[in-house]
Amino acid sequence: MTLNRGKKGLCIDLKQKEGKEIIHKLVEKADIVIQNYAPGVAKRLGIDYGTFSAINSRLIFVSSTAFGESGPYKTRKGFDIIAHAASGIMAAYADELGNPRGPGGNAYIDVGTAMLNAMSAITALYHRTRTGEGQKIETCLFNTGMALQGSGFVKIDKLDRELHAKQRDLLNTAREKNMTHTQVIDAFSLMGLRNEQPESARDIEVPDCNHRPSDRQTYPYYRIYQVKDGFIGIAALTARQRVSLCDLLGIEDKFAHIDIGNGNDETYFHQKGVMEKIEACMGEKTKMQWIESLEAVGIPCGPVNYGVDLYDDPHANHMNMVWNLENPVSGPYRMMGHPIKFTKTPVEPTAGAPTLGEHTTEILTSLGYDDRQIAELRDMKAVK
């Protein structure tokens, strides 16, 4: 319903010769092909880059898999949750039982990989305009998960060699020491603190629950706070913003003027008291009242929206991010719009998601098949 909006649906049995012939006709005219089968399947079906590039040498062929088409993990199948685990993202979080926490309702690695697919295809098209040659592109969920960690995945050898050795030793002995996942990542955090700030004597503050790390003590100026009618986020990361926030709320923080990174154990322990003061103030007003006050003094802030809030959100609708579409079976539905705004080629709502094979006749007709041939293809179940 969401990912297939605006598309046309052609349903083909790729194991039949007649089905492959249809695909080959489409490839003759295509700019981009994306395949999402496990490694080796496309080749067995005859829809691989080698086959297609022989038909159309200008073709951009995107092969998007779980772990890539080479390397020791290439035969592994996987979905978003598997990539969350294998790429290292999941290791930093825990659920209410203290176990590694997988993705919630949004499959971020799936979506991130799709974005990389689109960007890589566009890059390849630009290369084609200059050289005339197509190419194959490979992406995978595993690589996306690693890439999304950014600066969180950095090892400076002369600084981190000993730390990483200790962390690996801890992992190898955690089970025999009866350490839970949360205890492991807490220990990792403490090791990191000692490595980065050897002069610090403080411990890692850990709450009386298994959630990690989002419920640890958080920097009070970069945090979500509950207000009278929901939650808002505050991001006062400059000294001027922090001082302005304290003035607005009428609270005192003798370290508000100190740049981030220049603090010590004293400034760290002081933050919890500041957080409690801010929490006490924030419950007195509504989201919009606080947003107006905070923005007036230049403090970045914004509401925590739930999905149900956004269908009628004035900004979301102004940005054309809520589309009204229709599906032949389910009828009218609303979904997110297109996030990119083109000045000369704007993307507007068209059709909703098609039913399976809804446009088979239309597409086959455009490829030169007549009514008799289409009927024969349906009879032999090469298409639906």
Q: What is the pTM of this model?
A: 0.74
- Residue 90 pLDDT: 81
Top-tier CATH class for 222-304: alpha beta
Q: What is the pLDDT along the chain (384 residues), one digit of tens a residue?
A: 888 988 999 999 999 999 999 999 999 999 999 999 988 999 999 999 999 999 999 999 999 999 999 888 888 888 888 888 888 888 777 877 777 777 766 788 999 999 999 999 999 999 999 999 999 999 999 999 888 887 666 677 777 888 888 888 888 888 888 888 888 888 888 888 888 888 888 877 777 677 766 555 568 888 888 898 888 889 888 889 999 999 999 999 888 888 776 777 777 777 888 989 999 999 899 989 999 999 999 998 888 887 778 888 888 888 888 899 988 888 888 888 887 777 788 888 888 999 999 999 999 999 999 999 999 999 999 999
State the DSSP code for 31: S
- Residue 100 pLDDT: 77
Rounded CA gap, 298 and 248, in Å? 11
Q: What residue spans define the domains of the chain?
A: 17-149, 155-216, 222-304
- Residue 163 pLDDT: 87
Using the structure block, give the residue that is written with the tokens 């207000």.
227
State the DSSP code for 151: G
DSSP codes, 234-298:
EE--SHHHHHHHHHHHT---TTTTSPTT---HHHHHHHHHHHHHHHHHHTTS-HHHHHHHHHHTT
- Residue 214 pLDDT: 57
- Residue 63 pLDDT: 94
Strand 230-235 with 301-303, pairing:
antiparallel
DSSP codes, 298-362:
T--EEE---HHHHTT-HHHHHTT-EEEEEETTTEEEEEE--S---SSS-------PPPTTTTHHH
Q: What CATH topology corresponds to 17-149? A: Rossmann fold (3.40.50)
Of the candidates 177, 116, 183, the residue with the CA atom closest to the CA atom of residue 146: 116
What stretch of H or E contains 25?
A: helix 17-29
What residues are paired with 32 via a beta bridge? 60
Of the candidates 321, 97, 120, the residue with the CA atom closest to the CA atom of residue 209: 97
- Residue 23 pLDDT: 96
Using the structure block, give the residue that is written with the tokens 């807490």.
186
